[in-house]
Structure 1
Amino acid sequence: MTSTASADAFRELHHRPGDPLLLPNAWDHASAAALAAAGFPAIATTSLGVSAAAGLPDGTGATRAEMLRLARGFGHGKFLFTVDIENGYSDDPAEVADLAAELADTGAVGINLEDGRADGGLTPPHVHAAKIAAIKAAAPLLFVNARTDTHWQREPDTVETVSRLASYHDAGADGAFVPGLNDPATIAEVVAATPLPLNLLASTGGPSLKTLADLGVRRVSLGGLLFRIALGAAVDAAVTLRTDGVLPSMPNVPSYAAIQALAD
């Protein structure tokens, strides 16, 4: 069960001006435990990593069971964790609220709830707001990070972004997430327009962590990037051995004993 102390600790990580929460995203127990051991105060899940590891498509509602299984495995009180639940796997606020209550029972301190749809469209803002309100009624301690995809895989629309975030704030959201938002001037505009702590996605070639902090961003996520890096490194190592006959230098590979120590 989510404790008040854990919920408060996680919330406070979003309210440190100039020091945004860097939130890495894990896809299984080992990746989460290793990141926690590296000193990150909180860990998120990545729906891309969880779904791909299970051989399922991302963003289609196919990974509900995998997500819950992973959350239950995390719930040992060793680190704060928040869960990506895509769009809640339903447009029925009551069903989404039931899921939130299940996650609170695992010990999760937060969830990420997106308004993007598998077809590339966006959930109507009043429907997404109704989900947020239902979640907060069913699991008031959960930190609801309300994600809008107004800048993700579509033409950016800052006016709609601000409007949606206002609706989500009024429904009880605790944070705002706008993946794909990278332009410093627009970031500053969105920060000024919402009272919610803004979460952005770190990206190659995007603003540095210091720049984001200076702009007022309070949380920076890595999404599926770490999973993609790990997968790419594994394939590269195998291909290099096949091609060159020797393995590439890999100085940061954990030992067998270190991996064993992550299992508990």
Structure 2
Amino acid sequence: MRITLRDIQRMRDGGERIAMVTAYDHPSAVLAERAGVPMLLVGDSLGMVVQGRESTLPVTLDDMARHAAAVVRGTERALVVADLPFLTYATEADAVAGARRLMGEAGAGAVKLEGGAAVTAVVARLTALGVPVMGHLGFTPQAQHQIGLRVQGKDAAAARQLLADALALEDAGAFAIVLELVPAPLAAAITARLRIPTIGIGAGAGCSGQVQVWHDILGVGTGRVPRHAKPYAAIGPAIEAALKSYVADVASGAFPTAAQSAGMDEAALAQALSPAGPRDGAA
């Protein structure tokens, strides 16, 4: 049975920390499910970590629906949250259409969108129609050209605005809010003032839960690991070493061996090749 919004709220109310990780394909979803991760985020960060782009902005709704469907097929219990990509929720009608794709077609259990007071009408409309919405405040990647890649809410005015936006999202019906690159004391204060869970990424330990990018915590990325990430494994170097061994074995003829090959009855082979004609291999 799938984890529900009520389960997530119950975890928050009971003081149980909520672990969330990104997943972009079927194999990663299967592994996360086996590990007991309660929430999976099909993030538009796939634009960078999967597609090799410089930002999340080029990611399309088709991309998100395709990846979300693969993640959903790899899970039975986790709550799958899928991002609405850049400018797909500029209007309420756009947001409804996007949510229908991600939930109705791909099978996600909720959607996530970025922004504060400017998107509360969209959040309210979606939740009124039965769409669970996760908010996203602080550093919002879709607005990186406007706000820059830096910690948000460090001065009093910006911190006050973040708190106001969080409360507005809660009032609009959001079931949880991601706080990204927010000073830890501010994130803790916002968390204490909300009734819904906060999910931190680079926002300290005072949030209700944490979300991390799959590639960062498993060491399979190609770039610098962000300060807020903790690599739990070095899988990338292990994969590279394995591939180098494979290349060497193919080059030397060490692979494949009889153990990786299928045999055939010699009489059947002889019958198949006789008469062989001009292409009998004699040349």
TM-score by length of 1: 0.69
Amino acid at match of 1:186: L
Counterpart position of 1:93? 92
Q: Distance in 1 between matches of 2:191 and 2:38?
A: 24
Contact map agreement 2:81 2:111 (CA 8 A) in 1: yes
What aligned pairs does 1:62-101 form with structure 2 within 5 A after superposition? 62-76=59-73, 78-80=76-78, 81-87=80-86, 89-101=88-100
Structure with more relative contact order (C-alpha pairs < 8 Å, separation 6 or more): 1
TM-superposed CA distance for 1:218, in Å, is 1.9
The answer to whether 1:170 aligns with 2:171 is: yes
- Report the Cα distance in structure 1 between the residues aligned to 2:132 and 2:208, rounded to whole angstroms: 14
Question: Does residue 128 of structure 1 match 2:119?
Answer: yes
Runs of 4+, deviation exceeding 6 Å: 239-242
Query: Quick check: which has more Rg, 1 or 2?
Result: 2
Q: 1:122 matched to which residue of 2?
A: none
State the shift of 1:93 in Å.
1.7
Mapping of residues 224-263 of structure 1, within 5 Å? 225-226=215-216, 229-232=219-222, 233=234, 236-237=237-238, 238=240
* Paired position in structure 1 for 2:29: 32
Q: 1:36 touches 1:42 (CA, 8 Å); kept in 2?
A: no
- Aligned to 1:24, the other structure's residue is in SS state strand
Specify the alignment match of 2:128 in structure 1: 137
- The aligned residue for residue 218 of structure 1 is 208
When the two chains are superposed, the root-mean-square deviation of aligned CA atoms in Å is 3.3
CA distance in 2, matches of 1:224, 1:73: 15
Structure 2 CA distance for aligned equivalents of residues 13 and 101 of structure 1: 27
Query: Kindly tell me: are residues 196 and 241 of structure 1, through their superposed partners in 2, closer, same or farther at Cα, counting changes over 3 Å?
Result: closer
In the alignment, structure 1 segments of 5+ residues that lack a partner are 116-124, 247-264
Instruction: Give the stretch that moved more between structures: 218-227 or 191-200.
Output: 218-227
8 Å contact kept, 1:199–1:218: yes
| DSSP 3-state at the match of 2:64 | helix
Shift of 1:128: 0.9
Distance 1:98 1:45, change over 3 A: same
Provide closer, same or farther for how the CA distance between residues 228 and 66 of structure 1 changes in structure 2, counting only shifts above 3 A.
Answer: farther
The Cα shift of 1:220 comes to: 1.1
How far apart are the structure 1 equivalents of 2:181 and 2:128?
Answer: 30
Amino acid at match of 1:67: M
Whether 1:59 aligns to 2:56 is yes
What letter matches 1:111 in structure 2? V
**3-state SS of paired residue (2:12):** coil
How far apart, in 1, do the equivalents of 2:200 and 2:235 lie?
28
Task: Please report the TM-score for the alignment, with normalisation by the length of structure 2.
Answer: 0.65
Change (3 A) 1:87 1:162: farther
> 1:241–1:224: structure 2 CA closer, same or farther, 3 Å change rule?
closer
